[in-house]
Amino acid sequence: MHLDPFELHRPESVEETVRLARDLGPGFDYLAGGTDLLPNYKMHLNVRPHLIALDQVRELQGYTPERIGAMTRLANLDADPEIARWYPALGEAVHGVATPLVRASGTVGGNLLVETRCFFFNQSFFWRASLGFCLKADGDRCHVVPQKEKCYATFSGDLAPALQVLGATVEVAAPEGNRRLPLDELYAADGDGIQRHRLGPGELLVAVHLPPEARRVRSTYLKLRPRPSFDFPELGLAAALTRDGDRLSSLEVAAGGLETYPRRFRSITEGFVGGTFTDDRIRELAAAIQAAVRPVHNTAYPPDYRKRMTGVFVRRAVRALWEGRGAS
Amino acid sequence: MTRSDAAPKARGGVGYGMDLEAPGMLWAALVRAPVPHGRIVRMELGPARRMPGVVAVVGPDEIRTLLPKGALEAERPVFPLDEIRYRGEPIAAVAAETLEQARHAAAAVVPVVESLRTDARIEDVFPEWPSAAAAKDPRVVGHVHARHGDVEARFRSADLVHSETYHTSGVHQVALEPHACLGEARGGKFRVRTSTQTPFGLREDLASILGIFESSLVVEGTWVGGGFGGKGAAFLEPYALLLAVASRRPVKLSVTYAEEFELGRTTLPSIIRLDTAVRGGKIVGRRVRLLLDTGASLPGRDFAVGYSIGFLLGPYRTETYEIEGFAVQTNKPPFGPHRAPFAPQSVFALESHIDGLARRLGVDPIEFRLRQVWREGDRTAYDQPVGPFGLEAGLKAAARTAGAWRTRLPAGHGIGVACGFWSTSVGAGGEARLSLRPDGLVILQGEREIGNGSVVHGLAVVAERVLGLSLAAIRVDYGDTATAPFDSGVFGSRTLGALGQAVERGARSLVTILAKRVGASEIHLEIKSGQVLVVAGRRRHKLVDLLTPTERAEGGLVVEGKFYGPEREVDASRVLAGSVYPYQDFTGAVHLAEVEVDRETGHLRVVRYAAFQDVGTAVDPSAVQGQVEGGVVMGLGAALSEEMLWTPEARLANPGLLDYRLPRLRDVPPIHVELIEGFAGAGPFGAKGVGEPPIIPVPAAVANAVADATGTRVFEMPLTPERVARALKLL
């Protein structure tokens, strides 16, 4: 496999980066850790002529417990016991990403904006050509759900659901200035696997912010995958709750690896907050979320299995948090 | 002990096939068929020829114009002359100044193809289990039928008949390096450097494909990369050599791992039906039926069925049996050997079946196996006498370990046992040239060490043992097919057993010659201050003083060691169709797996593992242990997560190492290895080949542990969480 030629840019500030991005128009990709982008380029997947490397951009580096720069390497978070102590879901999600080697390069921003994945997309040029390509790259139809409108590629980052249940917001830079938005709104909930985020042209993810409440909730992240040592999530289930005696005073559940975006189940979970929480209620919650998810057949495990496991994982995660013990 | 190739390999001092270079070298790329079955209506090569940097483009026409007539009559010509038989089959090739130019030009060749009906799976060819008449179907490329005794009567009078059907998937060798080679052709002489397990076999294969004499072709191996069965027959070499003829320049051809997967030559799926009749707690009759997917193979593949059937009857006394198997042609890439070809899949079915039968009878699975397992002197299903055989000892050792494990077995865990039986290819002949020089011994032979150590280390250890000379004074050298003596190759766990015997015989003749020269009945060699000494009792002679003037001029005393194994025979009256294969020797392993089953997800965790292997004599115990551990890890991949996934259109869905899931180190449990010695094998000092047996019982041991933990059997391998979940009725 070889890379097609591209021009590499290495800006040093956010301002310079977004200006460059605006000038280059649509013909570029941001290069963070490169652990996903470069393998995709080697397969000639949506290759662009320009790459803007972010490793020299000052404002993206470094982290505090409240603000995590987008270029923070996953290995740095993984090695920090304070992250695991304050935000167990985040610590578990980071630790579950790929392998030590990938975590050494991979970044927080890169994982949040990782390309969606699909059996029919993550393949060699020869392979895709023999099928007439697909909606997501070089073609005009989807092979997962045969039609020509919507791409069903699966969101496969680990950090997003964990940060969603912790109530994270993201800081985005644009030529017009910075803006903040809830992490949920970074993703397109109308569900297309091609437009995997809602950043505008030239916008840049700068940092993730965690609110003070995130340290007060109990949280966990459970990952379903073939090999414990590797592999993208077939389901990445994050949950966070606070318990007040027998009363559930807050509850958030989010999942990745199932649909085109990391999905928070607030419309389901809010119905459980405020009341007493019992094993039956946990089962109801699990059944409701299981019924709501719509995986398709484009990853290693078939949809019926991933759907069924969603219920199991919700039950395990929430029960463990409710009982005050680790789920994994 | 230190292997002589360890330091240069660890330091990167030896090149991969991808590193091969020659002055004026071109890079090559393949044009591959876009459909799994079809005919090429038109293929324009002209436009690709005119692309930047392109020096040669060859397709089916160039077989006719550039090669001798025999190339058109080859069993499998360089490119298909009539039908495309699998998706990705090479149909043309390009050589250019750079790899990028070659790949671009290859992509610019767009053939017009007429598609034909695709048989992606065995079930597409035979929706129902075939009758004997199916042997005449053109898609049956191998058929074997054998029987012994009044099977029907035994089944009629049985207390119990246990009947099951098993499905297995294809697994890939995943050698460290995908195939790569460099071909040269000049004045009717051909030379190819390539990573290969069988230089001489490859030379024969290539000569027939190119329509040339073997003497016109030299094959030279490369140093690294591993094979596991995948580097025997011709693979990329014919394309590189044809391009070298066309371009008159050296041509290098390598493939990506996606291409490596899609070119196949590995294990493909099988369906196995087993019926076993039991009377009085003993097996009295067996019926074995097998359908083997052999992909786009040509007729004459009886051996695939014959080999599989050998392992399906197993290392058990079989009073009466009937076996029938079909090799089925599909539009997958052709099948090929993979470490212990056909055995892990066959044994998964057989040992799951035996285990289930024992449980059904309420007998401890190890005890049940002990009732039927071969002992030395038993007769095999083909009426061969069983030689020294350590599986009874292995089962007894395993029973002790299993007992210890069971005393503290957590809830949700199970223990599985499985036997794996193997017959090494120790009969395949080989030769070595031993040159005893004043400063040490040089063993020249034809195999290049690409992995397991049996060549550079194993052969040296054999010479060390015979001569008494220290390893530091022994060097195993390698020659290409023009300079080295003949050898059959590194396969079938034969290297130490067969080539090792050639070295042993050579070393013994050195001893005989030197003993005579010093007038002693016994001698051994020593090295002192860089000088080889011949020691006879208390007398020491410098070797250099014992050499004749001719020998001195030649650099030392040179002898040839040759070993060609005896022919073995089966009782042919039991074989009604096709052929079965005589066992060469008798070896195997007993494995134990402790597995934790997540009963809500179907996920398995192999908690610990133990392997008890009959090795005859461990010539180098640490090297043997390494082979056993490696085999177990490879078997765990096949048991748990490795699987080539084919779509109904015969498209390989996971041609890459992200989606074809090998175990990583963190996925591997602690492995306890126990070597069973004392059952002498056919090799030097009673050694038995050790490379293949350790992969064989693994999938069955894991499946049996799942059955032990849950009471539920999984009839398909690998045991993915989804399959386990379905077996547990979670879905």
All domains of chain A in start order, with CATH? 57-212 (3.30.465.10), 221-323 (3.30.390.50)
**Chain B contact present for A230, CB below 8 A:** yes
Question: Using 50, 70 and 90 to split pLDDT, how confident is the model at B8?
Answer: confident
* Residue A126, pLDDT score: 92
> Average pLDDT, stretch A4-21?
96
- Chain A residue numbers with beta carbons less than 8 Å from the beta carbon of B653 are 119
Same domain, B599 and B715: yes
In this structure, are B110 and B220 located in the same domain?
Answer: yes
- Claim to verify: residue B405 and residue B531 sit in the same structural domain: no
Domain shared by B547 and B614, yes or no: no
Yes or no, beta carbons of B256 and A1 under 8 Å apart: yes
Same domain, B624 and B531: no
Name chain B contacts of A231, Cβ cutoff 8 Å: 661
Give B-chain residues touching A122 at CB under 8 angstroms.
656, 658-659
pLDDT at A326 over 80: no
Asked which of B563, B596, B615 is the last residue of a domain, the reply is B563
Tell me, letter by letter, the H, E, C secondary structure of B516-527: HHHCCCCCEEEE
Both structure tokens of A326: 């680790």
Interface check for A301 against chain B (CB to CB < 8 A): the answer is yes
- Give the pLDDT score at B1: 62
Would B604 be classed as within a structural domain?
A: yes
- Beta-carbon separation of B730 and A301 below 8 A: no
Residues B290-322, buried b or exposed e (16+ Cβ, 10 A)?
bbbbbbbbeeebbbbbbbbbbbbbbbbbbbbbb
The mean pLDDT value for B227-244 works out to 96
Tally Cβ neighbours within 10 Å of residue B430.
27
For residue B56, the cross-strand partners are: B95
Structural domain boundaries, residue B228: 16-116+179-254
Verify whether the Cβ–Cβ distance B651 to A131 is below 8 Å: yes
- Would you state the pLDDT for residue B621? 94
Residue of A nearest to B657 (CA): A231
**How close B414 gets to chain A, by Cα (Å)?**
20
From A304's Cα to the closest Cα of chain B, the distance in A is 7
Q: Where are the alpha helices (DSSP H) in B183-232?
A: 199-210
What is the tens place of the pLDDT at every residue in B272-289?
Answer: 999 999 999 999 999 999
**Nearest Cβ partner for A312 among B601, B656, B659:** B601
Question: Which of B35, B256, B664 lies at the smallest CB-CB distance from A230?
Answer: B664
| Distance from the first to the final alpha carbon of chain B | 52
- Could you tell me how many CB contacts below 8 A there are between chain A and chain B? 73
**CA-based end-to-end distance of chain A:** 38
Residue of B nearest to A301 (CA): B722
Average pLDDT, stretch A200-213? 95
Of B35, B656, B722, Cβ closest to residue A301: B722
Give buried/exposed letters for B622-661 (b at 16+ CB in 10 A, else e). ebbbebbbbbbbbbbbbbbbbbbebeeebbbbbbbeebbb
* One domain for residues B227 and B78: yes
Beta-carbon separation of A127 and B725 below 8 A: no
Cα separation, B719 vs B597, in Å, equals 11
Same domain, yes or no, for B340 and B482? no
Mean pLDDT, chain B, as a whole number? 96
pLDDT in tens, B74-101: 999 999 999 999 999 999 999 999 999 9
pLDDT in tens, A21-61: 999 999 999 999 999 999 999 999 999 999 999 999 999 99
**Would you call A124 and B107 a contact, using CB atoms and an 8 Å cutoff?**
no
Torsion-angle region of B499 (φ positive above 0: left; ψ -120 to 50: alpha; else: beta) = alpha
Residue at a domain's end among B563, B589, B613:
B563
**Shortest alpha-carbon distance between residue B156 and chain A (Å):** 43
- Per residue in B520-559, pLDDT (tens digit) is 999 999 999 999 999 999 999 999 999 999 999 998 999 9
- Our answer to whether residue B89 is catalytic in this structure is no
Is residue B77 assigned to a domain? Answer: yes
Q: What pLDDT shows up at residue A327?
A: 59
Residues 60-99 of A with CB under 8 A from B: 99
What's the mean per-residue pLDDT of chain A? 95
Contacts of A131 in chain B (CB under 8 A): 651
Cα distance from B28 to chain A (closest Cα, Å)?
13
Same domain, B527 and B481: yes
pLDDT 10s digits, B685-721: 999 999 999 999 999 999 999 999 999 999 999 999 9
What distance in Å separates the CA atoms of residue B665 and residue B633, rounded to the nearest whole number? 9
Residue B90 resides in a domain: yes
Q: Do A309 and B35 touch (CB under 8 A)?
A: no
Q: Which residue of B has its CA nearest to A3?
A: B100
A6 touches chain B (CB under 8 A): no
Nearest residue on chain A to B106, alpha-carbon basis = A126
Interface contact flag, B34 A130, Cβ < 8 Å: yes
Q: Quick one: which H or E segment has residue B395?
A: helix B391-406
pLDDT of residue B195 exceeding 80:
yes
Q: Is residue B126 part of a domain?
A: no
Beta strands in B402-465 (DSSP E): 413-422, 430-437, 440-445
Predicted pLDDT of residue A1: 63
Q: Min CA distance, A99 vs chain B (Å)? A: 10
Kindly determine whether residue B88 and residue A126, on different chains, have CB atoms separated by under 8 Å: yes
- Put simply, whether A228 touches B (Cβ < 8 Å) is yes
CATH classification at residue B83: 3.90.1170.50
| Domain's final residue, options B198, B219, B254 | B254
Which residues in chain A are contacts of B720 at CB distance < 8 A? 226, 301
Determine, for residues A226 and B32 on separate chains, whether the beta-carbon distance falls below 8 Å.
no
Minimal CA separation from B480 to chain A, in Å: 30
A229 and B601: CB-CB below 8 Å?
no
Residue of A nearest to B34 (CA): A130
Q: Is residue B136 part of a domain?
A: no
Three-state DSSP class for A327?
A: coil
The chain B residue lying nearest A305, using CA atoms, is B722
* B148 belongs to a structural domain: no
Task: Assess whether B300 and B389 both reside in one domain.
Answer: yes
A304 to chain B: closest CA residue:
B731
* Residue B216 pLDDT grade (very low, low, confident, very high; cuts 50, 70, 90): very high
Which chain A residues are within 8 Å of B641, Cβ to Cβ?
226-227
CA distance B544 to B27: 49
Q: Are residues B616 and B720 in the same domain?
A: yes
The answer to whether A124 faces chain B, any CB pair under 8 Å, is yes
Predicted TM-score of the model (pTM): 0.97
Asked whether the beta carbons of residue A126 and residue B32 sit closer than 8 angstroms, the reply is yes
Mutate to test the interface with B, among A41, A154, A227 (most CBs of B within 10 A): A227
| Among chain A residues, CA nearest to B257 | A1
ipTM of the shown complex: 0.95
Residues 6+ apart with CB under 8 A from B56: B26, B49, B94, B95, B243, B246, B247, B251
Predicted confidence at residue B452, as pLDDT, reads 84
Question: B666–A305: do the CB atoms touch at under 8 Å?
Answer: no
Contact across the interface for A127 and B600, Cβ inside 8 Å: no
CB contact under 8 A, A231 and B666: no
Does one domain contain both B539 and B673?
Answer: no
- Chain B's closest residue to A228, CA to CA, is B667
Catalytic option among B89, B692, B716, B722: B692
Backbone angles phi, psi at B136, to 5 degrees: -85, -10
> Is A231 close to B661, i.e. CB distance below 8 A?
yes
| B406 backbone dihedrals φ, ψ, rounded to 5° | -70, -20
A202-224: string of b/e by CB count within 10 Å (b at 16+)? bbbbbbbbbeeebeebbbbbbbb
Contact B601 A309 (CB under 8 A): yes
Does the residue B443 lie in any domain? yes
Measured in angstroms, the CA of B595 and the nearest CA of chain A are apart by 15
Mean predicted confidence (pLDDT) in B464-471: 96
Q: What is the pLDDT of residues B385-431, one digit of tens each?
A: 999 999 999 999 999 999 999 999 999 999 999 999 999 999 899 99
CATH number of the domain to which B421 belongs: 3.30.365.10
Percent of chain B with pLDDT over 90: 92
Per CB-CB distance under 8 Å, the chain A contacts of B730 are 308
Alpha helices in B13-98 (DSSP H): 46-49, 60-66
Pair (B512, B535) in one structural domain: yes
Q: B655 to chain A: which residues are within 8 Å by CB?
A: 123-124, 127
Structural domain total, chain B? 3
Residue B512 pLDDT > 70 = yes
Buried b (16+ CB within 10 A) or exposed e, B83-118: ebbbbbbbbbbbbbbebbbbbbbbbbbebebeeeeb
Q: Does A132 touch chain B (CB under 8 A)?
A: no
Q: Is residue B222 part of a domain?
A: yes
